[in-house]
Amino acid sequence: MKTSIKTFLIALVSMAMFSLKQDKPTKIIFFGDSITQAGVNPGGYITKMKEMLEKQGIKDKYQLIGAGIGGNKVYDLFLRMEDDVLSQKPDVVVIYIGVNDVWHKSSHGTGTDADKFGNFYVAIIKKLQSQGIKVICCTPAAIGERTDNSNQQDGDLNYYSNIIRGIASKFDCPLIDLRKEFIAYNLKNNTSNKESGVLTTDRVHLNDAGNQFVADLMMKAVVK
């Protein structure tokens, strides 16, 4: 009799713990630079995702957190990963970095060399995966929206995007290929070959259409 009661109590506790686990929202951190920092503002891509979740009636199933800081490069993410990401114990981390690593080479005389970029990116993924965190990688979207390959950083941006694609494949990370998607969108919609104003305000940062475009692509990857 005592054994039956003990077994019953254990079963009840297990069911309660399972229920609590099921009710816990999936915590997703978006880890990046000023594009992600602005993503939590009204009209930003993270805010738009929250609105989309609410419309679908599943907002309670996901907790979306922005962890973007303006000017950040890949090594900045590595250095603040413990405080800004791991301490929050996320289920999923979306890495959206690379623009400043390329852009700042010409605009500030800094940037990140390709080999160092790859090494830091891999180190971030390894650390996150070692904690059981799912990692989703994003290629950098744009530094200029011209469609004739005349944006100054097109070559480097394509090269660094290829680095991310290779790393994502090697470490079995889902990939949101923003670079590929932005190019395709501009080829279709930027018929006057404008430098900005299609998906960006200033060649880099997202306008309303750009924020919605990124939100749609992110939703496909993070919401199942």
Residue 11: pLDDT over 70 = no
Q: What is the mean pLDDT of the chain?
A: 92
Query: Please, which pLDDT band fits residue 156 given cuts at 50, 70 and 90?
Result: very high
Q: What is the mean pLDDT of residues 178-185?
A: 98
Please give the average per-residue pLDDT across 93-97, as a whole number: 98
Would you state the pLDDT for residue 90? 98
So what's the pLDDT on residue 18? 46
* The predicted structure's pLDDT at residue 4: 56
Q: How many residues does the chain have?
A: 224
Question: Domain for residue 16, yes or no?
Answer: no
User: What residues are paired with 55 via a beta bridge?
Assistant: none
User: How many angstroms from the chain centroid is the CA of residue 219?
Assistant: 11
Cα 11 to Cα 50: distance, rounded to the nearest angstrom? 36
**Which of the two residues, 18 and 104, has the higher pLDDT score?**
104
Report yes or no: 121 and 163 within 8 Å, Cβ to Cβ.
yes
Does the residue 1 lie in any domain?
A: no
Residue 39 has pLDDT above 70, yes or no: yes
Q: Is residue 140 part of a domain?
A: yes
Residue 183 and residue 158: Cα distance in Å, rounded? Answer: 11
Within a domain: 4: no
Calculate mean pLDDT across residues 24-30. 97
> Does residue 224 surpass a pLDDT of 80?
no
- On whether residue 19 sits in a domain, the answer given is no
Q: Can you give the pTM of this predicted structure?
A: 0.89
Tens of pLDDT, residue by residue over 122-138, are 999 999 999 999 999 99
Q: Is the pLDDT of residue 13 over 70?
A: no
Residue 134 lies in domain: 25-222
Mean pLDDT of 52-65: 97
pLDDT at 89: 98
In a domain, 15, yes or no: no
Question: Residue 8 above 90 pLDDT?
Answer: no
What is the total count of domains within the chain?
1
β-bridge pairing 62-68 and 26-32: parallel
Torsion of CA 215, 221, 223, 224, to 10 degrees: 150
If one compares 45 and 108, the residue with the highest pLDDT of the two is: 45
pLDDT the model gives residue 134:
98
Q: How confident is the model at residue 29 (pLDDT cuts 50, 70, 90)?
A: very high
Three-state DSSP class for residue 24: coil
The order of strands in the sheet holding 62-68 is 62-68, 26-32, 92-96, 134-138, 175-176
Domain presence at residue 14:
no
What's 215's domain CATH number? 3.40.50.1110
Cα–Cα distance, 64 to 50 (Å, whole number): 7
Residue 148: strand, helix, or coil: coil
- Say which residue the tokens 């880099």 belong to: 204
DSSP per-residue codes, 97-125: --HHHHHHHHHTS----HHHHHHHHHHHH
Using CB atoms within 10 A of its CB, is residue 152 exposed (0-12), middle (13-18) or buried (19+)?
middle
Query: Is 177 inside any structural domain?
Result: yes
